[in-house]
Chain A
Amino acid sequence: MKQIPQNTPILPGLSRRRFLHGLTAGGVLMGLSPYIKPSWAAESTHLGMAPILTGTEFDLTIAESMVNFTGKPRMATTINGSIPSPILRWREGETVTIRVTNKLSTSTSIHWHGILLPFQMDGVPGVSFNGIPAGSTFTYRFKVQQAGTYWYHSHSGFQEQTGMYGAIIIDPAAGASIRADRDYVVQLSDWTDENPMDVFKKLKKQGDYYNFNQPTAADFFRDAAELGVGKAVSKRKMWNEMRMSPVDLADISGYTYTYLMNGTTPAGNWTGIFKSGERIRLRFISSGTQSFFDVRIPGLKMTVVHVDGQDVEPVTVDEFRCGPGETYDVIVSPQDDVYTIFAQSLGRSGYARGTLATHEGLSAPVPKVDAPEWLTMADMMGDMSGAHDMGAMASMDHGMHGGMAMAANAVHVRHAKTEYGPSVDMRVDTPRTNLDDPGIGLRNNGRRVLTYADLHTPGGDVDGRDPGREIELHLTGNMERYTWSLDGLEFGKSTPIHFRHNERLRVILHNDTMMTHPMHLHGMWSDLETPEGEFLTRRHTIAVQPAQRVSFRVTADALGRWAWHCHLLYHMDAGMFREVVVA
């Protein structure tokens, strides 16, 4: 293992050094607290820019470290003492050996998100192995068969929330396919000073605990004045009858979360340095445990070139949404001196922020967080084309990119038997299947926003076979009980899902909830397809929007036991999780 100095030419401009404590929201740099004198402080321990480790042999140590993001010192779980964890730089075709030593008092694990490997190396306790017990070392060893931007994180309890996430960059064996003068990892995450289990317990008692954007009586009277009493009443009627909240955008908000960019608070303003005229590759890694981020750089077009570790045909946008687990690499070519990288949370309760600048200390205006919207009919009931003419349909959907797929008429939705009980608060019989909708809060915002329909893997479908069969899985939950499940069954009541070795199958994910769920299948690619069944993009994480039905193909070429779950950590932990057995 070779530790690259911070001014490495591999990722130029990473020369700044931050000690492992954060900045208060007021932007005051805290002095080294008396708490923060751990042994690792002498080593290269940073907050705001992770060290880069290269080579084929790696030693990672998991331990508790004191951090301070909000003005209050808190204990985090870290890998080699930094948040984010070290950037691991591998090379396609090489075999890497990673010794992970657990210095916590509890069991831990590391999962290599999106990496193809033997299942015993996948790092999911209870599925791929027994975890890494306190005080022990586990050695991961596998051949790197791919290239691109990936990440790694703990798969034990809530350790991902408390700091265990880092980037993986794999250099292609054949040389870089994407040319850039500079290359930055931009890892987005969320931090809470609370014990994540306390957060979870609060949600179990009050699902809207963290939602301070609820409809109030004052809102009603304002609507009544603006729209008229009748419309103000009917606007609320259906939601109230169904006991569903139109503002249920995110379970956990800025009330407890501090949103981080490369482990740095908005006040801390992580800064990437560039020279005017350079092409910069920004590797966005969405590591929020419970947060979607809507990313834009005002004044700069972003060309998306690489998604979930796969090159895509370049598409230039103003903004994109990234859900937990997803990665998006963009190329920007700044001409001015300074730009803000702005990543607001889907719930619009806060943002992560950083800066691209020609030198340290510059900052550009930070946009205001957009006003949160109410979920629409399309987010609850899906595609109502059965009851509509085309004109009404298009406006209903708000997709705004045309190409409205009408395939939903042909969809015969079969809910699971177990979706008719207390675990499920709604079922969608007329799902929307179009992929050209950027989702709630991004429709019609005047910016060109990336959608799944924009993403094409060059060269098309690698496997080429037609799927031999279909598996349908419904994403389900009950916000009142704060239960999350698949087909109405939490993990504890489920059975494994069997993929036959080397079969090509189609998976249909059908969202019977009003939240977007980033579904991550371990060990194998999820080849996203259009509603008409044409191959689009090779993904490892697919975000399914409310009342949406998407399908993807899987080549079941990886023998063993694999996890498949919603990458919203609190949904996963609530049981929105399945095991896949390839045999």
Chain B
Amino acid sequence: MMLNKKLHSTFIIAGLLALNISTSWAQTGMTTSEMNHAEHSDSEMDMNDMDFSDMNIGDDEKSMDHSKMNMDMSAMQGGSAPADARDPHANSGGFSFDDFSDIQRLVLADEYNFSSLLVDRFEAVNTSENSSSAYDLQAWYGRDYDRLVLKAEGETDAGKLQESSTELLWSHAIATFWNTQLGLRYDGGEESDRKWLALGVQGLAPYWFEIDATFYAGEKGRAAFTIEAEYELLLTQKLILQPRIEANFYGKKDIELEQGTGLSDVSAGIRLRYEIRREFAPYVGIEWTSKYGDTANFARANGNAKSDTAVVAGLRFWF
């Protein structure tokens, strides 16, 4: 396949479109739980503009008449039950499992507890001036729809924990792809000592963006908001490119921690991992960080750079 330069760039743009780097997902995704398609016409997806022949890899696709297609796909997911929705217990005839005490009731895996630990990033971070290491993990214990979640991330430098953020949350499923998370966060390490209440959502937005957005309320009227988005682009079945972006906002200046109000910092990274097994994947990547507003001013005053680029290498693993 020969590509001239123009065609090549068209492909790249099309590739981005396929991944849909757009903002529309944020609306449709985040409101899944309360979305009533009848009332939110902006979130409806009109199938008129879709070419359905491509869904069918068959030799008969030409015979299809797409112009007549008018399906409301958004009605297939989320939403709220209409008034005439069936009662799933309507056919019980008054029976319940309590009626059968002679036999111990069957318990299936929906009533088991499971647990998981995912270390998404465990890496060496090398900038032009410094080498450090970083970790980012998430563990959970519980059932399908309610779990205890532990999130921890931090950086160590010269063997010392520079900064860390650890959250203990109750995660509750509210929609097909979304969980609410409520709990506590503790920031520790050499430079920080802050406690927060955390309230957030974590889930999967349309186009497979993994989103984690949390609002924090701290002592002395402090407030913060963190949003993180991750995507997994399969180059092959085992070689996976993972772009990731995180932004932090603060409601109040924190002189001790040299944080300004508003957008404080953004980090964006891209990591290429190879899944030797699903659970075990070494990676390399680049992480770019930048400070904004007063946070940037604090950094400049201390003679530090406003932004930084690091080469990272690490291991993603879970069990």
- Asked if residues B206 and A241 are in contact (CB atoms below 8 Å), the reply is yes
- Asked if residues B88 and A480 are in contact (CB atoms below 8 Å), the reply is no
> Which of B72-80, B220-228, B249-257 is found at the contact surface with chain A?
B72-80
- Asked if residues A377 and B86 are in contact (CB atoms below 8 Å), the reply is no
Question: For residue B88, which residues in chain A have a CB less than 8 angstroms away from its CB?
Answer: 416-418, 486-489, 494
A331 within 8 A of B: no
- Asked if residues A423 and B145 are in contact (CB atoms below 8 Å), the reply is yes
A419 to B177 CA separation, bound complex (whole angstroms): 14
Q: Which positions 366-401 of chain A face chain B at CB distance < 8 Å?
A: 373-374, 376-377, 380-381, 384, 387-389, 391-392, 395-396, 398
Chain A interface mostly helix, strand, loop or mixed? mixed
- Asked if residues A126 and B107 are in contact (CB atoms below 8 Å), the reply is yes
- Asked if residues B51 and A230 are in contact (CB atoms below 8 Å), the reply is yes
Please judge, given known A-B contacts A240-B20, A417-B81, A419-B81, whether A216 and B236 are in contact too, CB under 8 Å. Answer: yes
Q: Which positions 47-72 of chain B face chain A at CB distance < 8 Å?
A: 50-61, 63-65, 68-71
Q: Which positions 161-217 of chain B face chain A at CB distance < 8 Å?
A: 173-178, 204, 206-208
- Asked if residues A200 and B109 are in contact (CB atoms below 8 Å), the reply is yes
Taking a contact as CB atoms closer than 8 A, the residue among B145, B174, B237 that contacts A216 in the complex is: B237
Question: For residue A398, which residues in chain B have a CB less than 8 angstroms away from its CB?
Answer: 56, 58, 60
- Asked if residues B110 and A376 are in contact (CB atoms below 8 Å), the reply is no
A1 within 8 A of B: no
Closest to B80 in A: A420
- Asked if residues A240 and B76 are in contact (CB atoms below 8 Å), the reply is no
B91 within 8 A of A: yes
Question: For residue B78, which residues in chain A have a CB less than 8 angstroms away from its CB?
Answer: 420
A17 within 8 A of B: no
A403 within 8 A of B: no
Taking a contact as CB atoms closer than 8 A, the residue among A129, A229, A471 that contacts B103 in the complex is: A129
- Asked if residues B68 and A389 are in contact (CB atoms below 8 Å), the reply is yes
Taking a contact as CB atoms closer than 8 A, the residue among A224, A381, A430 that contacts B11 in the complex is: A224
Question: For residue A215, which residues in chain B have a CB less than 8 angstroms away from its CB?
Answer: 234
Contact with A along B223-252 (1 / 0, CB 8 A): 000000000011111100100000000000
Question: For residue A214, which residues in chain B have a CB less than 8 angstroms away from its CB?
Answer: 234, 237
- Chain B nearest CB from A490 CB (Å) reads 4
Q: Chain A: how many interface residues by the 8 Å CB criterion?
A: 105
A238 to B77 CA separation, bound complex (whole angstroms): 12
A410 within 8 A of B: no
A392 to B73 CA separation, bound complex (whole angstroms): 19
Q: Which positions 204-224 of chain A face chain B at CB distance < 8 Å?
A: 204-206, 209, 212-218, 220-221, 224
Question: For residue A204, which residues in chain B have a CB less than 8 angstroms away from its CB?
Answer: 114, 116, 144
- Asked if residues A414 and B51 are in contact (CB atoms below 8 Å), the reply is no
- Asked if residues A216 and B77 are in contact (CB atoms below 8 Å), the reply is no
- Asked if residues A240 and B10 are in contact (CB atoms below 8 Å), the reply is no
Please judge, given known A-B contacts A483-B144, A488-B88, whether A395 and B177 are in contact too, CB under 8 Å. Answer: no
Question: For residue A229, which residues in chain B have a CB less than 8 angstroms away from its CB?
Answer: 10-11, 14
A487 to B81 CA separation, bound complex (whole angstroms): 12
- Chain A nearest CB from B229 CB (Å) reads 14
Q: Which positions 226-258 of chain A face chain B at CB distance < 8 Å?
A: 227, 229-238, 240-243, 246
- Asked if residues A376 and B75 are in contact (CB atoms below 8 Å), the reply is no
Contact with B along A400-434 (1 / 0, CB 8 A): 00000000000000111111111111111110000
Question: For residue A230, which residues in chain B have a CB less than 8 angstroms away from its CB?
Answer: 51
- Asked if residues B51 and A425 are in contact (CB atoms below 8 Å), the reply is no
- Chain A nearest CB from B232 CB (Å) reads 10
A201 to B318 CA separation, bound complex (whole angstroms): 12
- Asked if residues A495 and B17 are in contact (CB atoms below 8 Å), the reply is no
Closest to B179 in A: A422
Chain B, interface size category, equals 35 or more
> Which of A20-28, A141-149, A456-464, A570-578 is found at the contact surface with chain B?
A570-578
Which of A240, A373, A429 has the most C-beta atoms of chain B within 10 angstroms of its own C-beta?
A240
Taking a contact as CB atoms closer than 8 A, the residue among A202, A415, A485, A498 that contacts B85 in the complex is: A415
Please judge, given known A-B contacts A233-B18, A237-B50, whether A126 and B86 are in contact too, CB under 8 Å. Answer: no
Q: Which positions 447-504 of chain A face chain B at CB distance < 8 Å?
A: 471-472, 478, 480-481, 483, 485-498, 500
Question: For residue B219, which residues in chain A have a CB less than 8 angstroms away from its CB?
Answer: none
- Asked if residues B86 and A417 are in contact (CB atoms below 8 Å), the reply is yes
Please judge, given known A-B contacts A216-B234, A428-B76, whether A574 and B18 are in contact too, CB under 8 Å. Answer: no
Please judge, given known A-B contacts A387-B68, A422-B173, whether A427 and B77 are in contact too, CB under 8 Å. Answer: yes
- Asked if residues B207 and A240 are in contact (CB atoms below 8 Å), the reply is yes
Taking a contact as CB atoms closer than 8 A, the residue among A232, A241, A416, A498 that contacts B93 in the complex is: A498
A63 within 8 A of B: no
- Chain A nearest CB from B127 CB (Å) reads 29
- Asked if residues A495 and B77 are in contact (CB atoms below 8 Å), the reply is no
A515 within 8 A of B: no
Question: For residue B97, which residues in chain A have a CB less than 8 angstroms away from its CB?
Answer: 495-496, 579
A225 within 8 A of B: yes
- Chain B nearest CB from A583 CB (Å) reads 8
- Asked if residues B110 and A575 are in contact (CB atoms below 8 Å), the reply is yes
A236 to B18 CA separation, bound complex (whole angstroms): 7
- Asked if residues A396 and B95 are in contact (CB atoms below 8 Å), the reply is no
Question: For residue B6, which residues in chain A have a CB less than 8 angstroms away from its CB?
Answer: none
- Asked if residues B11 and A221 are in contact (CB atoms below 8 Å), the reply is yes
A561 to B104 CA separation, bound complex (whole angstroms): 13
Closest to B48 in A: A387
- Chain A nearest CB from B60 CB (Å) reads 4
A381 to B177 CA separation, bound complex (whole angstroms): 20
- Asked if residues B144 and A481 are in contact (CB atoms below 8 Å), the reply is yes
Please judge, given known A-B contacts A124-B106, A129-B103, A425-B176, whether A495 and B144 are in contact too, CB under 8 Å. Answer: no
A232 to B53 CA separation, bound complex (whole angstroms): 11
Please judge, given known A-B contacts A201-B114, A384-B71, A495-B95, whether A391 and B63 are in contact too, CB under 8 Å. Answer: yes
> Would you give 19 A-B contacts (Cβ < 8 Å), ordered by A?
A126-B105, A204-B144, A209-B278, A214-B237, A232-B54, A242-B77, A374-B57, A388-B65, A415-B85, A417-B86, A422-B174, A472-B86, A493-B110, A496-B92, A497-B93, A561-B103, A573-B109, A575-B110, A583-B93
Q: Which residues of B contact A (CB under 8 A)?
A: 1, 10-11, 14-15, 17-20, 25, 28, 45, 50-61, 63-65, 68-71, 73, 75-81, 84-89, 91-97, 100, 103-111, 114, 116, 118, 144-145, 173-178, 204, 206-208, 233-238, 241, 278, 318
Q: Which residues of A contact B (CB under 8 A)?
A: 124-130, 200-202, 204-206, 209, 212-218, 220-221, 224-225, 227, 229-238, 240-243, 246, 373-374, 376-377, 380-381, 384, 387-389, 391-392, 395-396, 398, 414-430, 443-444, 471-472, 478, 480-481, 483, 485-498, 500, 561, 572-575, 577, 579, 581, 583
**Closest 3 A/B residue pairs (Cβ):** A498-B93, A126-B106, A490-B110
